[in-house]
Every structure is written in structure tokens, then in C-alpha cells.
A = this chain, B = another copy of it.
């Protein structure tokens, strides 16, 4: 009847092309089922859906291959996507920036959707008088120069040889992740907004908020430790270890598990006055405003927890 039943999965921005992709696979003799769930990244592979519908393969569009934290139960084919947006207007804006003009050596980072333009960006920046460094990628990214919100490796490995870091791409999640992991300043050249801006303000706001969270964490009574079951986010053991440490320090703690972490659903517990996020760093970096309570990344939680442990002794 059909060659193979395949589940197609698209990030939100590519869902509009789903029907066309399905048509092509159908013509090849496959039976296609489309995932209608929101998909947030390469970490977010729909194994559960694929198993439920008996799919023999997942085609995951838009993201580069990713090191999952679970054994893939079904083969996954990653079909990367390259954005069709010119790089020159935004880079030009960067080159006009007075502070960026003072930087001779630039570490260039971007996301997978622009990685195909890396050579073009490099040439353009070199024509503008820059020496461009492309760093070795971290454990989760697939390409040198590529960063993920959860893997700023390409920035970290290059910053030593650069005066500043240039992020090419949209959004704040990726460049802020790099800005927090690096000592060098980060400038973002956004091809969608055709703007260039430094991340200093965002970085400072985050660090200030984190300082405030430290106090909130020390005085909190009931900790909700957020765990996502997404195959690239699952971090159960660290969550359980943190729970034990908090309990030993006299606090109440619960491990809260879901696929997507949803502030609205967490509110219904009416129990927790502090959340620790073990899932996607975006929650504490970008989405914290949606939680009615403080939310801190697991990596940042070490300090308040060790303070609590010392206070208990």
C-alpha cells in the first residue's frame, strides 16, 4: 500500500511548507502524518507522536542534527533549512557602529539557518577591514561558527582570538546565551530587522535579575524543579539530585515533569515560590516574565543551593 509511514515535524516558521513536503513524499509512495505540535528546536524530536502513530521514520525539518539525551527509538532524518535573507544590510549596520569600528578581530557566530552564508559574511566583513575568526562548535551544534541557545561553544572557542563577537541572526536567545558565556562584548546583526545592536544591556539586566533571584532562592520555601521530557532536554538525574540537596537543606522540593514547560499550567499548583529550570535555558533567559514566580537556570542554582546548605550546617 505504501513504502513507509513517516512523521514530518516542522518548527513554527516552516509549518507553512508542510503540505508541500507531504505531497512530495506521497508521490514517492510514502504515507505521511504531520506533527501539529509546536516544535522549538533540534532538541524537540517527536518520538512519542511517531511511536503512537506507528511511524517508521521522523523527518525533522529546519534544524541541524543534535546530540539527544535519549536513545532515538525511531530513525530521524534532519532536513536543515537556510533562511533566504541577504546578509549585507545588517552587517553594514554593524560596520557603521562606532564601537564595532574599533574592533579589528571579530569572532563570527550564527545559527544553522544562516550557516550557509558564513563565507559570504566573512568576505563582506573582511572587505570592511575586519579579521574574521570562526570558532570550533560546541558539543550540541553541528557546524563551526554555529551557536544554539544552549550551546555557545563557537563563541567561547573564538573569543580569545577576537576583540568582540558578532552574532548574525534574529532573536535575543542565541546572542544573549553567547554574551553570558563570554567575556568579550557581543554585537547582534539582525537580518530581519536590518539592525545591529550590542547585547550589553540585555546581559546586564540578566545578571542583575540573577542577583535578585539569589536572594529569592535563599528565602524560598517550596521549589519546583522543572524537567522536560523532550529528547534533547531531559535532565532527570540532576533534577533529582537537586531535590535531595534542597530537602536536606530543610526546603520542600518537587520534580515537575512535562513535555513543554508551561507557566500557566504550573500556576495551578499554587505551591511553589521558586522554580529551577533543568530543561531549555530559554525559560530563564527569555521567558521568565511569563512565570509568576522566580525561575533560575540549573547552572545558576548552585550558588543559592550551596548557601542554603551552609546555612543549615
Contact = CB atoms under 8 A, between A and B. Distances in A.
Interface string A8-45: 00001101101100100000000111111110000000
A52 B257 contact: yes
A53 B236 contact: yes
A94 interface: no
A179 to B, nearest CB: 29
B49 A229 contact: yes
A186 interface: no
* Copies of this protein chain in the complex: 2
Contacts of A70: 52
B48 A229 contact: yes
B19 A261 contact: no
A7 B240 CA distance: 13
A261 B36 contact: yes
Given A36-B266, A254-B34, A257-B36, A234 B52 contact: yes
Contact of A265 (B7, B12, B226, B257): B12
Given A15-B270, A54-B236, A268-B16, A254 B49 contact: no
Interface centre among A31, A49, A265, A268, by most chain B C-beta atoms within 10 angstroms, is A268
A310 B187 CA distance: 62
Contacts of A224: 36
Nearest to A35: B257
A256 interface: yes
A53 B16 contact: no
A226 B34 CA distance: 10
24 contacts: A12-B265, A16-B269, A16-B271, A19-B254, A22-B254, A31-B240, A32-B254, A33-B255, A33-B256, A33-B257, A34-B269, A36-B224, A36-B226, A36-B256, A36-B269, A37-B257, A37-B265, A38-B262, A49-B229, A49-B258, A52-B234, A53-B227, A53-B229, A54-B236
| Closest 3 A/B residue pairs (Cβ) | A52-B229, A15-B268, A36-B256
Interface of A: 7, 12-13, 15-16, 18-19, 22, 31-38, 48-49, 52-54, 70, 222, 224, 226-227, 229, 234, 236, 240, 252, 254-262, 265-266, 268-271
